Structure 1
Amino acid sequence: MLQIRKILLRGAGLEDAIVQFYSGANVLAGESDTGKSFLLECINFILGADKLKHVDEAVPYTHLAVEFVNSNDETITLVRPTNGGNLMAYRVPIDDISGDGEPIAPTRKGLSKGPDVTSVLLPFADINEARLRKNVGGETQRFTIRTIEPLFLIDEVSVIDQYSPVTGKPAFGDTARKRALSYVLTGIDDGSVAAGEKNEIVKARLKAKLELVDEMLQPLNERFASPGAPGASGASGASGASGASGVSGVSGVSGVSTDDTELDTLIGSLTGELENLATSRDALQEQSQEATRNILKTDSQLLGIRELLSRYRLLDERYTSDLDRLDFISESSFYFDALQDVPCPVCDQIMVPGHSHSPDSAARPIRESAVAEAAKIHAHRTDLAAAIRDLEVRQGLVEGEKSTIDKELQSLNTELSRTLAPRLEFTTQRLEQLVSRHTEREATRVERERWQSLVKLQNDINSALAESGAPKQTWAGIPPKELEEFCAEIQAVLVEWAWKGTPCVEFDEKAFDIIVDGKPRQSSGKGVRAVLYAAFVIGLLRYTAKNNRPHPGLIVIDSPLTSYKKKKNQTVKGENGQVDAGIEAAFWESLAKTSKDIQVIVIENKEPPTEIAAEVHYQWFAGEDAKADERAGFIPGKSARAN
């Protein structure tokens, strides 16, 4: 097993940002935005994550280093540039690093066999190389640190989420993480599993579909296939129970009966009222849209009118220029005889002595042509002036029309925002409160029908596989003995934490999560989910240490007591719930008794009691208001915005 001793950020000309940890229990508490959660991000990054979360205060630092020790008092330090890339491994503490280390990759890519974080850290923690089954066909993959990350590195969102603490968010590849738990509990991997022979494409496709259907059926079978569950009589009789679930009450709507018929009546009444309001709103919106279209139309007309006026005025200027040119040509015919030794403007010959043109033969036609052309242009200018006047009149009319429409649109928008919108919002809220209860009933029916169709699809795929001769392989789950001992360890943790009554812990191999006192962890409120996640990983750590099983030997858990109060976690589904005050006090007392053979790092907003703080390795980040003898945050002199 291994433990973390130091986490350090270093940059040229900067004071090191360093936090130290010890064996047993470590508590890092403090104000928000002081960099507590950023420490977990640093650990995740050094263990192979693609990138380090951006924090403004950490940008100037160029390298991250994490120092580990193992059960043999050996030390290894991993160093990685904060902008990503490969790591360097040094077999000495951070303070003794010098020269070049051993280059290692964050993770192996493709068929690479080179050293990476897993190949360096797992042997250092005395964990042998192992293989895990990754699909129903029996193919295996390498056991890595990333595979078991949810079991020892728990961030503030995962701790309260509804996902399994073994697999995290559902995804293809969950099989390997499920098998990782079996390996951690038993110490036996899947290296001896022989993958089935590769079948033709159709069989491979059927297997992939079957695995997906099996995963989709797991939570549904728990609800509808187990004895006593709604619809447990079988898929054939499930469709007739659409109205079986009652309504326990409507939150925020006073005087609402639990009778489904009355609930439907109320929903119908509110729906009618909402439809009437919506009709009025739609009518106003249609008028508003029509006014908007008219405004766009007038704008388009004005744009066209202005463009035509611009072109007409340019044409008028051209006519003026042409008239000036024609006047010049007409007058120039009188001066031909006075020109000497220059090209004749009429015949283009040099005008030597005696060269001349008869006014009758040359000047008169030119002048007459110029006068005729000028007459045509004057006529065009008259027409053009009339057209310009018409356009200017039209422009005035359109601008007046636009002004009228603008006033109408403003009136419509005022009525929409001040009158109809508040009434719509109020009626909608009331209706949503009723519909939410109605939806619960309908959701059960829909889920039951979905379960029926998936069961049928599962049977059809199995039949198709059997008919095609595809081999059906079955795999053993987690051995009952190890599961029982593991659940007993979690129960012991909950007893230490003053859980009400005598806790009964079971492991659900479908959801890969625990059931406490008959209630799945995932269906509890956020606060209870966080406490039970903490009990799960601490119980697993104790079990593996006691039985010498493959486990990193440490856990880092962010906000097991207060994470559900943070704003950025409000998107997680489920009620916040409350953690019993007795559990919180007992949690701190139990933490103080943590064995020095393992390491538990708890990151919290709350301070532990004074007597507990004295028994654990306790650090407090005081934030921006830190006193002279207090530490502000992870980054020296500043708080880090990553909490």
Structure 2
Amino acid sequence: MNIGCRIKKIAFLGNGHCSKIIFDNPVHIVHGASNTGKSLLIEAIDYMFGAEKLKPVLPESKNYKQVVMQVTLNGEEFTIFREWPSIKFEIYNGHIDTKIDSDFYGYFKHGQATNNVANISDFYLKGIRGAKVLSNLHGEKSSLTIRLLSRIILSSEEKIISTASPIVVGDRTEDTTNKNVFKFLLTGVDDSEIKLIVRKKEFTSENKGQKEALSYVIDSFKLDLIFPEENGDSLHERDKKLTISIDGLLEKIGYSQEALSEVVSEKKIISCELMDTSNRIDVIKVNLANFKTLNSIYSCDIDRLNSQEEAAFLLSVGHSGQCDFCGETPKTVCNQLTNVKNLAQASLAEIEKIKSKKSELELTTHDLEKQLNILIAQHETLKKKLEHLDVETERRVPDLISEDSSLATLRKEKSSVQQDLCVHEKINAFNKRLQEIELTPVPKPYKSKDFYPEDESISDFCSIYSKILSEIKFPGEHKVDFDFKTFDVIIDDVPRHLNGKGVRAILHSVFKVALLMHCRSKGLYHPGIVILDSPLVTYRDPLNSKLGKLSTDEKELAQTKISYHFLNFLYKIRDQGQFIIVENIDIPTSFKDSIGIDTFYGKNATVGQRKGLL
């Protein structure tokens, strides 16, 4: 459980003087005569909880310049030093009497935090930083601070007898904030998620600004129109007609492209055939040239072989093979004559072969010449066809170019129309938004009941309040209801504020104690400390007290032992928090050994008795 804050000691230092009170018991009472510094004690504790100023009212105050408070915060011990006056808090680790640099924890300040120095709330509220509470019914929020929680912690004598709710005491402009602090403690749920509602003046100004901005945007869009004289309906009709025209032209272009494609395809085929024919013609011409050369070679070979055969014949004619001198026939001569004869025969045989080949060559040449003539004729035919297709292509291309140009023109016009349609669509959307803004009513602020604590939490709180009344023997049936109009309790059908001062004071005190007990029972955050100034004023001296005579209900209460029962009850629940009570009345002697007591005797103090706070 988060035990919150406990005060261990508060001390006043200055000019060699030191005055202190040690709170060594969860329930501690400071009582005594008037003008002894009891109220200053309450104000000094508030000062150390972040109050802006501490106004010294006692003559002895001039001897003191600094307040020191030792606290235990969520189980950790700290000592807080603050000059008197000053916005600076100097905090050290541990409960110390002398500042040691090694124990320094950090500086904090009153008011707006700086880049390097946090507000004192950041120290006290480490466990719930960032919690937000509503400041007003427009949903504006402020951070939960120790100053807001000080209304839960501290109850001055003026506030404790006030007819105002124990939770909304203070400046009425802060009532909403105080109520929502109470709701936060009661439920554990802050107001971070509440949406902000714009105020009427801001709404009107914002509304006007939005309308001017939208009107400017609409006028800007109108300047972008290509056909400003045409409205949306006219443009839609024009767009439809353009679509039909474009579709028709696309179909026509399709036919034209298809026809041209056929011509181009045929032209490609004929070009290939023409090229093939040309290649074949070239090949035949080359072959004929080669054949002509070969034929010449054959003719030359025949002439040479004829000459060779005639020479051999002449050599052998009239030659007997005998020697003219001796008449004998040499063997060598016979061999040579045989060779000449064989050569003549071989030449004749070779001549016949060549003539056969020459004859075949002439037939082949004749066939090739016929093929060449046919191919030349085909080449001319193909050439004429290609020329015709070129003419046809040139005839069709301008028509297609014209159709493409018309299509581009139509498409450009359609694009412009569609652009204007898009602009008109934006203009219509902004006009709609402009009308919506003009028709939007001024938002109404939330109602107070929108932020009332849930019934279950209020019921639990009232139940605890009733049990406390029973425990302290408060007169009546202890029926407790909650009045959301006053944010206060109704006891036995009587609103708290209708009671006398003393009854209001004890009921205010019970309210603060019940809130602490509720938070503890639910495991919710609570500062963990309740400081009450004069909760038992019912027992005042009606002749000497500044509060005057007792009212009827106060007299009835004064006849009870409620002071004893109230203090006894606080002692019973001492494990739930710290209770510091400042009172003028005498304390029952039965408590002297169970609760902490400091007595200020004032001017009547004797030796060993404390005169006052300072």
The interval holding the TM-score normalised by the smaller chain is: 0.5 to 0.7
Out of 87, 92, 95, the position equivalent to 1:93 is: 95
Distance in structure 2 (CA, Å) of the matches to 1:584 and 1:147: 29
* Structure-2 change in CA distance of 1:118 and 1:571 (3 Å): farther
What is the match of residue 28 of structure 1?
A: 30
On the 8 A contact 1:25/1:591 being kept in 2, the answer is yes
Distance in structure 2 (CA, Å) of the matches to 1:64 and 1:602: 20
* Structure-2 change in CA distance of 1:67 and 1:529 (3 Å): same
Question: What are the Cα deviations for residues 391-410 of structure 1, in whole angstroms up to 9, with x where unaligned?
Answer: xxxxxxxxxxxxxxxxxxxx
On the 8 A contact 1:127/1:551 being kept in 2, the answer is no
Which residue type is aligned with residue 109 of structure 2?
A
What is the match of residue 580 of structure 1?
A: 558
On the 8 A contact 1:526/1:575 being kept in 2, the answer is no
On the 8 A contact 1:28/1:618 being kept in 2, the answer is yes
Which residue type is aligned with residue 11 of structure 2?
L
Distance in structure 1 (CA, Å) of the matches to 2:567 and 2:79: 31
On the 8 A contact 1:47/1:106 being kept in 2, the answer is no
On the 8 A contact 2:25/2:595 being kept in 1, the answer is no
On the 8 A contact 1:107/1:118 being kept in 2, the answer is no
* Structure-2 change in CA distance of 1:608 and 1:195 (3 Å): same
Distance in structure 2 (CA, Å) of the matches to 1:530 and 1:467: 53
What is the match of residue 618 of structure 1?
A: 597
What is the match of residue 544 of structure 1?
A: 519
Deviation at 1:19, TM superposition (A): 0.3
Question: What are the Cα deviations for residues 591-631 of structure 1, in whole angstroms up to 9, with x where unaligned?
Answer: 33232341011111112211112111122122222232322
What is the match of residue 107 of structure 1?
A: 111
Which residue type is aligned with residue 43 of structure 2?
E
* Structure-2 change in CA distance of 1:522 and 1:121 (3 Å): same
What is the match of residue 578 of structure 2?
A: 599
Distance in structure 1 (CA, Å) of the matches to 2:568 and 2:94: 35
On the 8 A contact 1:69/1:75 being kept in 2, the answer is yes
Distance in structure 2 (CA, Å) of the matches to 1:522 and 1:202: 39
Deviation at 1:574, TM superposition (A): 8.7
Distance in structure 2 (CA, Å) of the matches to 1:466 and 1:496: 61
Alignment of 1:460-471 (within 5 A): 469-471=441-443
Deviation at 1:542, TM superposition (A): 1.4
Deviation at 1:468, TM superposition (A): 6.0
What is the match of residue 530 of structure 2?
A: 555
Residues 1:134 and 2:135 are matched in the alignment: yes
Distance in structure 2 (CA, Å) of the matches to 1:572 and 1:203: 55
Where structure 2 has 5 or more consecutive residues not aligned to the other structure, the ranges are: 207-436
Distance in structure 2 (CA, Å) of the matches to 1:495 and 1:203: 55
Distance in structure 2 (CA, Å) of the matches to 1:60 and 1:606: 29
* Structure-2 change in CA distance of 1:51 and 1:485 (3 Å): same
Distance in structure 1 (CA, Å) of the matches to 2:115 and 2:541: 44
Question: What are the Cα deviations for residues 312-333 of structure 1, in whole angstroms up to 9, with x where unaligned?
Answer: xxxxxxxxxxxxxxxxxxxxxx
Alignment of 1:368-517 (within 5 A): 469-472=441-444, 474=446, 475-517=450-492
Which residue type is aligned with residue 469 of structure 1?
P
Residues 1:122 and 2:101 are matched in the alignment: no
What is the match of residue 289 of structure 1?
A: none
Where structure 1 has 5 or more consecutive residues not aligned to the other structure, the ranges are: 206-464, 636-643
Question: What are the Cα deviations for residues 220-253 of structure 1, in whole angstroms up to 9, with x where unaligned?
Answer: xxxxxxxxxxxxxxxxxxxxxxxxxxxxxxxxxx
Out of 36, 39, 53, the position equivalent to 1:37 is: 39
Deviation at 1:176, TM superposition (A): 1.2
Distance in structure 2 (CA, Å) of the matches to 1:466 and 1:552: 49
On the 8 A contact 1:63/1:79 being kept in 2, the answer is yes
Question: What are the Cα deviations for residues 40-72 of structure 1, in whole angstroms up to 9, with x where unaligned?
Answer: 010111112221122221112111111110342
Distance in structure 1 (CA, Å) of the matches to 2:142 and 2:20: 36
| Structure number, greater radius of gyration | 2
How many residues end up aligned between the 2 structures? 371
Deviation at 1:18, TM superposition (A): 0.5
Deviation at 1:161, TM superposition (A): 1.1
On the 8 A contact 2:29/2:598 being kept in 1, the answer is yes
What is the match of residue 6 of structure 1?
A: 9
Which residue type is aligned with residue 63 of structure 2?
P
* Structure-2 change in CA distance of 1:627 and 1:108 (3 Å): same
Helix, strand or coil: the match of 2:78? Answer: strand
Helix, strand or coil: the match of 1:600? Answer: strand
Which residue type is aligned with residue 497 of structure 1?
I
What is the match of residue 175 of structure 1?
A: 176
* Structure-2 change in CA distance of 1:503 and 1:628 (3 Å): same
On the 8 A contact 1:592/1:612 being kept in 2, the answer is no
Helix, strand or coil: the match of 1:482? Answer: helix
Question: What are the Cα deviations for residues 109-150 of structure 1, in whole angstroms up to 9, with x where unaligned?
Answer: 6x9784111110111xx3343001112221211111111222
Which residue type is aligned with residue 37 of structure 1?
S
TM-score computed with the length of structure 2 as normaliser: 0.56
Distance in structure 2 (CA, Å) of the matches to 1:466 and 1:114: 47
On the 8 A contact 1:132/1:141 being kept in 2, the answer is yes
* Structure-2 change in CA distance of 1:466 and 1:93 (3 Å): farther
Which residue type is aligned with residue 522 of structure 2?
N
Distance in structure 1 (CA, Å) of the matches to 2:492 and 2:158: 25
Out of 51, 54, 58, the position equivalent to 1:52 is: 54
Distance in structure 1 (CA, Å) of the matches to 2:590 and 2:86: 41
* Structure-2 change in CA distance of 1:5 and 1:476 (3 Å): same
Deviation at 1:575, TM superposition (A): 8.4
Helix, strand or coil: the match of 2:110? Answer: coil
On the 8 A contact 2:180/2:451 being kept in 1, the answer is no
Question: What are the Cα deviations for residues 336-365 of structure 1, in whole angstroms up to 9, with x where unaligned?
Answer: xxxxxxxxxxxxxxxxxxxxxxxxxxxxxx
Deviation at 1:26, TM superposition (A): 0.9
Distance in structure 2 (CA, Å) of the matches to 1:137 and 1:598: 35
Deviation at 1:568, TM superposition (A): 8.7
Distance in structure 2 (CA, Å) of the matches to 1:113 and 1:203: 40
Residues 1:525 and 2:500 are matched in the alignment: yes
Distance in structure 2 (CA, Å) of the matches to 1:10 and 1:594: 33
Distance in structure 1 (CA, Å) of the matches to 2:613 and 2:197: 52
Deviation at 1:554, TM superposition (A): 0.4
What is the match of residue 84 of structure 1?
A: 86
Distance in structure 2 (CA, Å) of the matches to 1:571 and 1:49: 30
TM-score computed with the length of structure 1 as normaliser: 0.54
Identity in percent: 27
Which residue type is aligned with residue 599 of structure 2?
W
Deviation at 1:102, TM superposition (A): 1.9
| Structure holding more helix per residue | 2
Which residue type is aligned with residue 104 of structure 1?
F
On the 8 A contact 2:157/2:533 being kept in 1, the answer is yes
Distance in structure 2 (CA, Å) of the matches to 1:591 and 1:613: 14
Deviation at 1:588, TM superposition (A): 2.7
* Structure-2 change in CA distance of 1:112 and 1:538 (3 Å): farther
On the 8 A contact 1:162/1:573 being kept in 2, the answer is no
On the 8 A contact 2:471/2:569 being kept in 1, the answer is yes
Question: What are the Cα deviations for residues 147-206 of structure 1, in whole angstroms up to 9, with x where unaligned?
Answer: 12222200111110111111114522321111100100111101111213565547599x
Which residue type is aligned with residue 581 of structure 1?
Q
Helix, strand or coil: the match of 1:120? Answer: helix
Which residue type is aligned with residue 518 of structure 2?
Y
More moved, 98-107 vs 505-514? 98-107
Which residue type is aligned with residue 613 of structure 2?
F
On the 8 A contact 1:89/1:103 being kept in 2, the answer is yes
* Structure-2 change in CA distance of 1:156 and 1:476 (3 Å): closer
What is the match of residue 65 of structure 1?
A: 68
What is the match of residue 195 of structure 1?
A: 196
Question: What are the Cα deviations for residues 68-124 of structure 1, in whole angstroms up to 9, with x where unaligned?
Answer: 10342x112221111232221212213253236522112326x9784111110111x
Deviation at 1:500, TM superposition (A): 1.9
Which residue type is aligned with residue 503 of structure 2?
V
On the 8 A contact 1:5/1:21 being kept in 2, the answer is yes
Deviation at 1:501, TM superposition (A): 3.2
